[in-house]
Structure 1
Amino acid sequence: MKKLLSLASLVLAIIVYSQDKTNNEIKDSGDKSLLIKTDHAELQAKKSAAEEKTKLPKPYNPKADAQSDIRALIAKAKVENKNIMIQAGGNWCIWCLRFNDFVQKTPELKNTVDSNYLYYHLNFSPDNKNEKIFAEYGNPGEKFGYPVFIILDNNGKLIHVQPSEVLEEGNGYSLEKVKDFFKSWTPKS
């Protein structure tokens, strides 16, 4: 009887093992299929973003002397009583290009920016990381990614740093959120 129970236990163990192995193989097969679908979707998204990037204006100039440019903007901002809006990022960044395009093609936003800000695109790329300037503003790109928005008052004093992600909506930006952001940091009369 002991041998019969041992044999029955062994057969049961083999059946359980075989069933478990089959389930894992099915699960592994499903996971691989899902992985392939995910990889394909990621590749499609990257391809789509690359195509979109070629069509958008490239506002960042890696060769610019950003320190000199910002000094000149501060002098101009004092005269015009405007704040300075620095959009930090690069032509490599789809979200940077999307934001610039969104502002330039949305009359309501463009009017708000043109009336209240001097707008500057601070480059961050392998060609020119502008490390000294970014350090002056606490390296916001390292903290928040790109684009990141740096608002200076008309004396060049940092008054706000805004990460991009809170302004995003879908594959673009929210008109209401961006409008509120711009209006929150207009110069105080």
Structure 2
Amino acid sequence: MKRLLQTLLLACSLAAVAPAASLAADLPAKFEPTRDAAADVAAATAMARKEGKRVLVDVGGEWCPWCHILDRFVAGNADVKKLVTANYVWVKVNYSKENKNEAFLARWPKVAGYPHIFILDGDGKLVQSQNTAELEAEKDYDKPKFIAFLQQYAPKR
């Protein structure tokens, strides 16, 4: 019973720091060099198609301070998190010295900095390549800009 309670508490704490509730249980909650990026994005795309959402591919690494700021920003702003949850399946793709995922990322425009966001439709087609530096404000993300970005690329219903 104690182990079950510990497992549930861990799951709840991980869910609190995950960028959005739309992060599926089998998709990574953090950037993991050992993950198969192609399989993760394919799973996210299948889920997005089923749910009528888009895929938000978050490219970065555990080494990246702005990647962690992005996670905290989304988790800490209920209106932003609600937009993400309602419209996107969020999937993290690792880029680090351990695994740059170069072959996988070569299918899309070159990334200039991290984190970088790619928005895909339910068929996996690229809708937007977004340099997140354009969404920053001082040492955080600019909430109105980020909301406008999410709304602009949300699926049309």
Tell me if TM exceeds 0.5: yes
Structure 2 residue aligned with 1:179: 147
TM-score by length of 1: 0.66
String of CA shifts for 1:8-51, please: whole Å, max 9, x gaps.
xxxxxxxxxxxxxxxxxxxxxxxxxxxxxxxxxxxxxxxxxxxx
**What amino acid maps onto 2:82 in structure 1?**
N
Match of residue 124 from structure 1: 95
Structure 1 residue ranges (4+ consecutive) displaced by more than 4 angstroms after TM superposition? none
Instruction: Note if 1:83 corresponds to 2:54.
Output: yes
1:164 equivalent in alignment to 2:132: yes
What pairs with 1:1-189 in structure 2 (closer than 5 Å)? 59-139=30-110, 141=111, 144-189=112-157
Greater shift in the superposed pair: 69-78 or 175-184: 69-78
Shift of 1:138: 2.3
In structure 1, C-alpha distance between the alignment counterparts of 2:106 and 2:120, rounded to whole Å = 15
CA distance, structure 2, for counterparts of residue 172 and residue 75 of structure 1 = 32
SS at structure 2 position matched to 1:87: strand
Structure number having the greater helix percentage: 1
* C-alpha distance in structure 2 between counterparts of 1:136 and 1:92, whole Å: 24
CA distance in 2, matches of 1:180, 1:123: 26
Matches of 1:72 and 1:95 in 2, distance apart? 25
Distance 2:126 2:32 in 1: 22
User: Higher Cα Rg: structure 1 or 2?
Assistant: 1
Q: RMSD between aligned alpha carbons? A: 1.5
Cα deviation digits, residues 53-97 of structure 1 (max 9, x gap) = xxx888211111111111111111111010000111111111111
Q: How many residues align?
A: 131
Residue type of the alignment partner of 1:163: N
Give distance in 2, aligned partners of 1:138 and 1:167.
18
CA contact (8 A) 2:31 2:92 kept: yes
Q: Secondary structure at the match of 2:106?
A: helix
Question: Which one-letter code corresponds to 1:186 in the other structure?
Answer: A
Structure 2 spans left out of the alignment, 5+ residues: 1-16, 19-28
- After TM superposition, give the deviation of residue 166 of structure 1 in Å: 1.0
CA-CA distance at 1:165 after TM superposition: 1.2
Indicate the percent of aligned positions where both proteins have the same amino acid: 34
